[in-house]
Amino acid sequence: MKKYTIEPEYHGYKVGDYLKEVLGYSSRSMRKIDIFLNGKKVKPNKKVRKLNRLLVKEHNKGTNIEPIKMDLDIVYEDKNLIILNKEPYLIVHPTKKKVDKTLAHGIVHYMKEQTGEITVPRFYNRLDMNTSGIIVVAKNGFAQAFLQNKEKATVNKYYQTIVKGIVEEEEFVIEESIGCVGESLKRELLSIEDGGQTAKTGAKVLKRMDDQNLTLLEVELFTGRTHQIRVHLSSMGHPILGDELYGGMVDSVKRQLLHAYKLIFTNPDTGEEETVTTTLPDDMERIVKGEVIG
């Protein structure tokens, strides 16, 4: 439930236009709310007057995901968002093969403790099971729609990763379309004509570990294709360390060393830019500090 007071400059607006243009609601999210002006339920074409009291109540969106208590590493929270630092080896959402103890189960439990209701977890982004780092969960449809509205919200995602080999360029951008062939889980560079999707990845060198023939990179995603970072870096001859699927397998490294470490986003409530960062997980930190891998 959200409460607003209509500012004088929006006197005469239709309430639906006010919700879309001023508050950032989408047409889709508007179908999932009830609107009240001065305590009376109204339709979106109702005109508002200055200083009207506006109340927006979302329809409860239930889920069959069972609540499971988990230790969640929450790095940011407000009335609209939860931002977590996901540990490696944890699946974000139930799949056909994994239906219990995913991050979604923990979020459902956490929200139930807060609100007393079981509600669907609204993930803005997802990470592969073995990728660690920042996950954004919207607490309501408004926040979800706001972050997805590219005209109103900026969401920039940054990763750190350790790759095989010494990367010579200080900074570079890869723009190569990506797709899958047949039923394979593996993605590959694939032309648009053959069914690929446009993909753009930027990267810069943070540290070269010459003694181990490894490089620590910061990576920025401009698009969000499945396995995008893994495919792009592998295509230039620098697969992510530990990435069995794309040529980075090492016996002593149990996962692809990819960590979503920083998020710059527009706060749905204030419209201000915010930055959230996390530290590297232990397995990556040890290598960066000089631990020799087998």
CA distance 86 to 88: 7
Q: Which of 128, 210, 251, 283 is catalytic?
A: 128
CA distance 157 to 154: 10
Per residue in 11-30, is it b (16+ CB within 10 Å) or e — as a string?
A: eebbbbebbbeebbbbeebb
CB-count exposure of residue 141 (10 Å: 0-12, 13-18, 19+): buried
Q: Both tokens of residue 14?
A: 């239709």
Q: Are strands 2-5 and 53-58 parallel, antiparallel or unpaired?
A: antiparallel
CATH domain 156-260 topology: Pseudouridine synthase (3.30.2350)
CATH 3.20.20.70 for domain 2-58 = no
E strand or H helix that includes residue 107:
helix 103-115
Q: What is the pLDDT of residue 72?
A: 96
Active site residue 128: yes
pLDDT in single tens digits along all 294 residues of the chain = 778 899 988 999 999 898 888 887 878 778 878 899 998 999 999 999 988 999 888 776 666 788 999 999 999 999 999 999 999 999 998 877 666 789 999 999 999 998 888 888 899 999 999 999 999 999 988 898 899 888 889 999 999 999 999 999 999 999 999 998 877 889 999 999 999 999 999 999 999 999 999 999 999 999 999 999 999 999 999 999 999 999 999 988 999 999 999 999 999 989 999 999 999 999 999 999 988 776
Give the class (CATH, top level) of 60-153: alpha beta
Give domain limits for the chain: 2-58, 60-153, 156-260
Q: Both tokens of residue 173?
A: 């951008």
Topology agreement, domain 2-58 and domain 60-153: no
CB distance 224 to 201 below 8 Å: no
Whole-model pTM above 0.95?
Answer: no
Distance (Å) of CA 251 to CA 14, 132, 248, 291? 62, 19, 10, 15
Q: What is the pLDDT of residue 292?
A: 74
Q: Enumerate the β-bridge partners of residue 77.
A: 82
Q: What is the pLDDT of residue 24?
A: 77
Q: What is the pLDDT of residue 61?
A: 65
CA distance 241 to 254: 9
